[in-house]
Each structure stands twice: as structure tokens, then as C-alpha cells.
Structure 1
Amino acid sequence: MANAPVGGRAFALPFTRAADPNVELTEKEMRMPLANKVPDHLRNHFIAMCGEYVGTVLFLFFALSGTQVANNIPSSSGLTVAQTGSNPQQLQYIALCFGFSLAVNAWVFFRISGGLFNPAVTFGMCLIGALPWVRGVLLFVTQILGGLTAAALVSCMFPGALTVTTALGGNTSVVQGLFIEMFLTAQLVFTIFMLAAEKHKGTFIAPVGIGLSLFIAELTGVYFTGGSLNPARSFGPAVVIKSFHGYHWIYWVGPILGSIVAAGFYKFIKILEYETANPDQDSSHAAKMSQKKEHLLAAGLNEVDAHDIAIYLAKQQSVGEMGGVNGSIFANGQGRKFQEADGQGMYGTDFRRSTTGNSEGTLVQAPAPAGTIAPNAVERFQQREGIPRQNSGSGSGRVESPGMASHDDIYAPLQNGQSEALGHMVRHEPRSRFARTESSGV
């Protein structure tokens, strides 16, 4: 198997140090010249704008080129779509092009810019607080430029006149077209809020679900309004062919109103705490706890304290993901808290930020030698994370129950470096211990 690329490594030109994957490069060698002179918040804005521009161009290029094919390919009888009129197969082809193109490119670019590709979606993200307004304005302009570029590329690369503009059809009135665009965009934006801004950020579920949402919306709207749902999608082709319908404004006002409707309903159900109506539908609490427990054990904590702390952290993570006490809202790895952050991470959050002062952002201390417990690991961890623990006055930080073995008795085998598993120790323990069974071993 080939070596994985080293993050930040310069171009691997032949016969250079960067071409050797085994060479240790310094931080300066892996950065672009003078890049360290640029403040992080400016560099992050620039990176997001670059990603959003390229992503919007790719998304609309494949979507518009598919539309160009569907609108120009002759039928089996040799007649064009202009001669025969629209048909369900043609409309389905266009809807598939838009849906699949969005799913693929959102999947690729969410790590860089969030994979929005739509000024209406960007506006909605700003309304719910998942995107700072400064970043939103920058991405809004970038997406419009991406739409222009994609339409120009399709016009240059494919023969014939550009036939991908959005227009009202099927005797649709302007008012009807406005509300069609509004409701279809509301459905798309709300899907993005619930998938990308909630549980499934960073997984394949979010882009696939968003792509399917656009596909369904296109099936409904492409015949009547052209299925824009995106000001950049309508504005780019209109500029390239230098022709604007008198009702072109509906392709701006409709999607913006749809974003407002989606954001209003999203905030409404968040205020009502919708998570409590049907809890634990998006993630496994047990899986979260098990993963955190393994990390704590690797850090040198004993079995019992790792179990207790893992339960606490899993609950705190669930509260945070639901927009709980810390007011956090996440979108494709983006997020913003009510508290002011230092702006070092994506969209002004603590993403990539160290919690212990080192460059890796380590949550707990380095693993201790096998068979030992790192001194005061639990106390330091609790103090750092703000976990309240009662103190018995003896300095141990734990209140002993009359029906439980003492702290020293329970952990003595581990302190002495013995290999006996905790489950075996519990099995032969003379005194009962609450909520610890032989089968569980904890």
C-alpha cells in the first residue's frame, strides 16, 4: 500500500525533499512562503472562500452540463426537446444531475468550507447562528462568482446555444413561481439544518440526504420554474447569455424567503427542545461511552473511574450536540458558541484548538505504563474538565459507601501492577457493590 500523504507537505516535485515520504520536514518547510505571516482568521476565510468557489463551480458545472444534455439531445424520432416539449424522462434526468452533483461535492468540500454552494443556504446558516455573518457575506459573493464561472464553462465547452436558464413554464404565474421557489427552498434548507447542522455532520448521511432533498425538489419544480432554489444557479446563466426575464427577481426573493421559513421553524422546534420528543434516534449512547472509556483507560485511569467519567462525558456530549447548556450549534464541522472564542478554528470556534497547551489538543495525559495508575490522574482530569466530585475530607476526592469496598481495597491489585482483571476481583469480593455485576465486570 502506498504511503499516505503528509498533511501540509509541499509539492512533491521529483528529486526534492518533499518527494521523499520518509523525510521529516520542519513546519516552515511544509508551509507556503510567507503563509505564517498571515493571521489565522484571514487565512481561514481565504481557505473557505477558495473551497466554496471551487465546490460551487464543480456542483453547478455538472448540474448545468447535465441540463444542457437533457435540453438538446434529440429523441429517437430525431426531434429535439424544443420541438416535442418536456417529458418526464428529461425532467428526471435534470433532477438526478442536480441531486447527485450536490451530494458528491457537498461530501468532498464540507471539510473545507461547509459545502453550501447556495447563497440562500448560506443566508439560512447565518440566521440560525451556525455561520458568522462575516464569513456568510464572503461565501455569498464567492458562490455568485462560482455560478458565473460554471455557466461560462458550460457555454464554452458544449456546442450549441446555452439552454440551462430558469424560466416559468406550464402556464405558471409569477406569484405561483415565487411560492414554488420559496417552499422548495425551505424544504432543502431545513433538510440541511437537520442533517448537516445536527447529528450527521461529517458522515455520508448528510450529503446523501441533502442530495436526495434537492433531487425531490427538482422533480417538483423543474417543469414549473426551472427548479432553481439557488440564486447563483439562475444568475450565472442569465449573465452569460445576457438575457434576464422580467420576473428574474423571484429566483432571489423566493429562495431567501424559503431560508427564512426554514430557519424560523428550526428555531421553533429547538426552543421546544424537539430532541426530548423522540430521544436517542441519531446516536448510540453506549457506543459513545465505550469509546471514551477506552481512551481514559489508555490514559492510565482505573476501570471504575474511567467508567464513571465516560458516562459523564457521554452525557455532556449529547447535551452539547443538542444545542444544550453551552448553546452550541454545529454545521458540517462548523460551529459557534454564545461565548466568545479566540477565532483560531473553523468559523471562529475552538476547532483545531489545544485544550492543554500543546499542538495536538490532547484531552487526557499520555498513557501510563501497563499495570499502573497515573498519580492523581482522576483529580487532574476532573479539575480540568470541571467535573464536580464530593470530598470526604480525607483528600481522596471520593465518599465511600458502607456497602462498598474501600477505595484502596478496590484498586490495590492495579496499583501493585498485578494483571488480575477487575471483573475477576469483583466476582470474589465479599461485600456487595451497587450496580456492578459479575457479567459486566465493572
Structure 2
Amino acid sequence: MKSRFSTTPFPDLFQAALLEFVGTTFFLILGLGGIQSAAALRYASGEPMGSSIEQTLYISTCMGLSLLVSAWMFYRVTGALFNPNISLALLIVGVIDPARFVMYCIAQMLGAIAASGIVVGLSNAPLAVNTALTDTTYAKGVFIEMFITAALVMAVLMLAAEKHEATPFAPIGIGLTLFAAHLWAVYQTGAAMNVARAFGPAVVTGFPDSGHWVYWIGDLLGSLLGAGFYALLKHYKYWRINPGQDASDHRQSPTDPVEKAKESLNNVLSNNSGESPREGSGSGTRASPDEQEGMGRALYPERRPGESMV
């Protein structure tokens, strides 16, 4: 049964939310599990849990690769959002409807709690995957989370929601965006950019950090910033600024530089001698104006607004 809040029958919507719960749990088990394993090794050996460069790289790799793998497996099933802040951005730009947004957010929050519980249950060390501010203020933490969340939102909207030649490979770019954002923010904020990722471990450990609200406010602002910038790009038809970047027709490639130089030289010599350029000189037969216009319409039709991954 459909409603004004959803274009999807409720049984299908419930099934999608259930699978989004499974996908979110899988993503965070891999990501948080890798971080917890490193923490458990340090805990067992008695080494200090410092924020070294090695640890930052390890955490960034765990989360980035986990999202890449999980998103690639689930993005044709549910859209592989795994993140209430991504869900909010897609709601704002009209990719998903309100009912799917609510169901997905519930599934993502529950998935994060389940993943955190599984990770700590399978570890011999205390859960060490909470996000927390380090050597920064609450205000700076909010803005760091805002910017890295906006970057992730833009990656999802431009690589997955927008349909183009590289859309099937969107999980690679999205995973690398998460990796790059972690390199910056792991030390300062823990690099949540996903309120569910911060919420799940906090629930399991009893909210040990008083600054947990930073991840709600900062990531919310990041969703708004990323979605707003994407809306501006769509409104001003960004594809007209640099057309052809996503074309796959080899005829849109640059012409042969050697032939181009020979054609230019021939034109110069012909102008100096007062003769017209020889027919057929240069890079060969060119398409007629009508053929070029038809080719342009085929390659660059007016694009529609971004469609959902789901």
C-alpha cells in the first residue's frame, strides 16, 4: 500500500530497510572490527593507545576499504547509504522520499548498535572505537565534522546519484573519500561523518564522551552543506561548463597532434604562397555540420536530475 509519503509499497520498503540494516551492520563490523583488532593488540601488549601516524593510516584504511567493499555489494540492493546523513542529503535533493528516509535512518542506527555489540562481543579488549574530540575545541570539532561530511555527501551525489559513465564504479570514489577524510580528522574528532557510526559505539559503552552532540550537529550541517552545493551545481547546469568530460566516444578525443601541426604548417605555407590549402590535407575527412550537430545531440542530451541509487 502506497501513501503520500512514499512511492514504494510498505512491504517492499520494509524489506529495503531490513537489507539496509544488514548492509550497515556489515560495513561497520568490517570497519570497526579492524580498528578494534588493532586496539586489542595494543591492549594485550601493554603499548599506549596513542594517535600515531601508523594508527591514523590503519584506521583510515579500515574504514575506507570497508565502505568501498560494502557499498559495492549493496548499492544495487538498497542504495548502500549506511549513513543517516547521506539519507538526509538524498531526501533534501529529492532522491528518496520521507518514508524511506525514516525507515533507513532507523535501520542505520540499529545496524550501528548491532555492529558495535558484535565487535565488542568478539574481542577480548574493551571497545575502543568510540569517536571523541582530541586536542580541539567543540566549535572546531563541529566544523571539521561538517566539512568532511559534506565531502562524503558530495561524493555520493556526484558519483552515485548522478548517472554517468563512471556510476558503476561509484563505490571506489566514495570509499576513497572516506579514507581521505579520515586522514585529516581521525586525530581531531575520530572522523565520524556519520551519526550512526558515532552513535552505535556510544550506546554500547554508555556514552562516555560528553561531546557526543558534536557529531549530531556537525554531521547535520555537513549534510545541508553538501546537498546545498549539489543543488546549486544542478541549478546552473554544471555539465555545460566543461562538456564532454564523461563522454566515451573516441571521436571526442583530441585530434592527432602531428596531423594538426602538419595542417597548420600547410595553411601557413599556402597563405604565404597565395594558394588555398589542398583538399584532403591535415587530419582527414571531417564530419559535415549536420553530422556534427547530430553527434552533439547524441552525446550531450539535456540531463535529468540525479536519480536514486535505490
Does the TM-score normalized on the shorter chain lie above 0.5? Answer: yes
Contact 1:71–1:163 under 8 Å retained in 2: yes
Q: CA deviation at 1:112?
A: 1.1
CA drift of 1:233 comes to 0.6
The one-letter code of the counterpart of 2:76 is: R
Match of 1:81 in 2: 48
Give the SS at the match of 1:247.
coil
Structure-1 separation of matches of 2:97 and 2:166:
20
* 1:245 Cα deviation after fit: 2.0
Residue 32 of structure 2 is aligned to residue 64 of structure 1: yes
Matched position secondary structure for 1:142: helix
Percent identical pairs in the alignment equals: 40
Which structure has more relative contact order (CA 8 Å, sep 6+)? It is: 2
Q: Is 2:75 the counterpart of 1:110?
A: yes
Q: Say whether the 8 Å CA contact 2:161–2:307 is kept in structure 1.
A: yes
Give the conservation status (yes or no) of the 8 Å contact 1:165–1:238. yes
Is 1:281 matched with 2:258? no
> Displacement, 1:269?
1.3
Structure 1 or 2, whichever has the larger Rg, is 1
- The number of residues matched between the two structures is 263
Out of 89, 93, 107, which is 1:142 matched to? 107
> Structure 2 vs 1, CA of residues 255 and 316 (structure 1 numbering), >3 Å: closer, same or farther?
farther
Residues 162 and 241 of structure 1 are in contact (CA less than 8 Å); yes or no, is this contact kept in structure 2? yes
Contact preservation (8 Å) 2:31, 2:62: yes
Moved more, 97-106 or 200-209: 200-209
1:331 alignment counterpart? 308
Distance 1:262 1:52 in 2: 22
Farther-moved stretch of structure 1 (276-285 vs 261-270) = 276-285
Q: What is the match of residue 213 of structure 2?
A: 249
Structure 2 distance, partners of 1:101, 1:45, is 25
Deviation at 1:197, TM superposition (A): 1.1
Amino acid at match of 1:330: E
Alignment check: 8 A CA contact 1:231 1:251 kept: yes
The answer as to 2:157 corresponding to 1:193 is yes
Pick the aligned partner of 2:9 from 41, 57, 73. Answer: 41
Unaligned runs of 5+ in 2: 1-6, 252-290
Report if aligned partners of 1:228, 1:234 keep a CA contact under 8 Å in 2. Answer: yes
Structure 1 residues 249 and 316, CA gap change in structure 2 (3 angstroms): farther
Residue 133 of structure 2 is aligned to residue 168 of structure 1: yes
Match of 1:53 in 2: 21
Residue 112 of structure 1 aligns to a residue whose secondary structure is coil
| Bigger helix fraction | 2
2:169 is the alignment partner of 1:205: yes
SS of 2:95's equivalent? coil
- The residue that corresponds to 1:221 in the other structure is 185
Partner of 1:353: none
Do 2:165 and 2:247's aligned partners in 1 also have CA atoms closer than 8 Å? no
Q: How far apart are residue 199 of structure 1 and its match? A: 3.1
Look up the equivalent residue of 2:84 and give its one-letter code: P
| Partners of 2:188 and 2:24 in 1: CA distance | 24
The answer on whether the counterparts of 1:199 and 1:282 sit within 8 Å (CA) in structure 2 is no
- Distance (Å, rounded) in 2 between the aligned partners of 1:138 and 1:233: 17
Cα contact 2:133–2:189 (8 A) shared by 1: yes
Render the CA deviation track for 1:361-407: whole Å, top value 9, x for unaligned.
xxxxxxxxxxxxxxxxxxxxxxxxxxxxxxxxxxxxxxxxxxxxxxx
Q: CA deviation at 1:331?
A: 3.1
AA paired with 1:270? K
Tell me the TM-score normalized by structure 2.
Answer: 0.79
What stretches of structure 1 of length at least 5 have no aligned partner?
1-38, 288-307, 335-442
**Paired amino acid for 2:10:** L
| Counterpart contact for 1:62–1:97, Cα < 8 Å | yes
Cross-structure match for 2:262: none
Aligned residue for 2:42, secondary structure, equals coil
SS in structure 1 of the partner of residue 189 of structure 2: coil
1:281-360 equivalences in 2 (<5 Å)? 281-284=245-248, 315=297, 318-319=300-301, 322-323=303-304, 328-332=305-309, 334=310
CA contact (8 A) 1:61 1:153 kept: yes
String of CA shifts for 1:97-117, please: whole Å, max 9, x gaps: 100000111111111110000
Determine the structure 2 residue equivalent to 1:230: 194
Question: RMSD value over aligned CA atoms?
Answer: 2.4
Shift of 1:252: 1.0
Contact 2:40 2:124 in 1 (8 A): no
Q: Is the 8 A contact 1:165 1:237 kept in 2?
A: yes
Q: Which among 118, 121, 124 is matched to residue 89 of structure 2? A: 124
Residue deviations 1:57-79, cap 9 Å, x none? 0101111011112223239xx54
